[in-house]
């Protein structure tokens, strides 16, 4: 017996969805940061705060361009699309008020910065987190 068309679509959608892992916000494990609130994460990635609660200068890291995790991060965290985020940063850069997060072109580059910089903070797929990193906020699927 073949599945009904709507059931087949449901099963296919479920299979595609499972490829998208949970996003988490991570820091270097030696930073001293244990947890962050949603508001703290927003403030760090939107340039409103420049220091972590432990006193370290924060280095937020964004995944480059239109990376799928970047889109999911800002959509989940702020309910905003990338063009809105880019426009926000364009206004702040023009006025000289703040600088956007550092851009990393690959997940490997994100990991390298995190492993080598005590104040670095980034979002990653949970599967990429190792013992040198600490999850400080759960963004979700």
Query: What is the fold of 21-140?
Result: D-Maltodextrin-Binding Protein; domain 2 (3.40.190)
CB 100 within 8 A of CB 89: yes
Alpha-carbon distance of 1 to 137, in angstroms, equals 45
CB 26 within 8 A of CB 129: yes
pLDDT in tens, 79-96: 999 999 999 999 988 888
* Domain assignments of the chain as residue spans, ordered by start: 21-140
pLDDT in tens, 3-62: 444 444 433 433 333 345 799 999 999 999 999 999 999 999 999 999 999 999 999 999
């Amino acid at each position: 017996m073949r599945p009904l068309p709507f059931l087949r679509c449901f099963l296919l959608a479920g299979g595609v969805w499972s490829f998208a892992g949970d996003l988490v916000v991570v820091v270097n494990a030696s930073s001293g940061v244990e947890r962050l609130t949603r508001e703290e994460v927003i403030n760090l990635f939107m340039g409103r705060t420049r220091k972590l609660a432990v006193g370290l200068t924060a280095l937020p890291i964004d995944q480059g361009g239109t990376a799928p995790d970047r889109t999911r991060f800002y959509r989940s965290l702020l309910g905003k699309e990338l063009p809105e985020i880019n426009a926000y940063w364009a206004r702040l850069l023009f006025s000289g008020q703040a600088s956007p997060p550092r851009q990393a072109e690959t997940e490997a580059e994100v990991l390298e910065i995190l492993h080598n910089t005590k104040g670095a903070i980034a979002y990653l797929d949970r599967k990429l987190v190792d013992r040198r990193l600490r999850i400080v906020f759960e963004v979700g699927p």
